[in-house]
Amino acid sequence: MRFVLLMAVLLAATAAGAQGAPLTILGTFSHWTAYTLTDAAGKVCYVASEPSATETKAKGRDDVFLMITHRPQKNEFDVLSMKAGYTYQKGSRPTIKIDANRVLSLKSYEDSAWSPNAETDGKLIAQMKKGGKAVVSGTSVRGTKTADTFSLRGLTKALEAADKACERK
């Protein structure tokens, strides 16, 4: 289910851009930007950031984003996902580390990764709100290892904007 949600958000964002559907920027808060759009299932609110540093540049790599998504019509909030900009090696387990906290494994499919469940999302996002940086590491289908560092400055304010737009209580 979480994979379907992640893919739906990515497809909705792509479709919104391609078809001119309204993708609204709610604001940019340091390194994070909050957005909202409406897809067939209803309103979607999300925050996204690009890496502030990348340890390894994978050849032919597309854009990289770390995102947190809300879908109020499905009562789904704080869904953490990563768009790697390359296809992950089949069966690989990308990881995320918030500051000095322990490393957690993510699930992957094609160019996306996400946490295994809502409980893990909640723990990771709580750490992210208090933290300074998140490092997501993965391995491409070509065997290239990457480590993307995301600043967490502005995340809390961006999430507050997304919460308000999606009328999160």
Provide the residue-wise pLDDT of the chain in tens; the chain has 169 residues: 333 334 344 444 444 444 545 899 999 999 999 999 999 999 999 999 999 999 877 678 999 999 999 999 999 999 999 999 999 999 999 999 999 989 999 999 999 999 999 999 999 999 999 999 999 999 999 999 999 999 999 999 999 999 999 998 7
Three-state SS annotation for the chain:
CHHHHHHHHHHHHHHHHHHCCCEEEEEEECCEEEEEEEECCEEEEEEEECCCEECCCCCCCCCCEEEEEEEHHHCEEEEEEEECCCCECCCCCCEEEECCCCCEECEEECCEEECCCHHHHHHHHHHHHHCCEEEEEEEECCCCEEEEEEECCCHHHHHHHHHHHCCCC
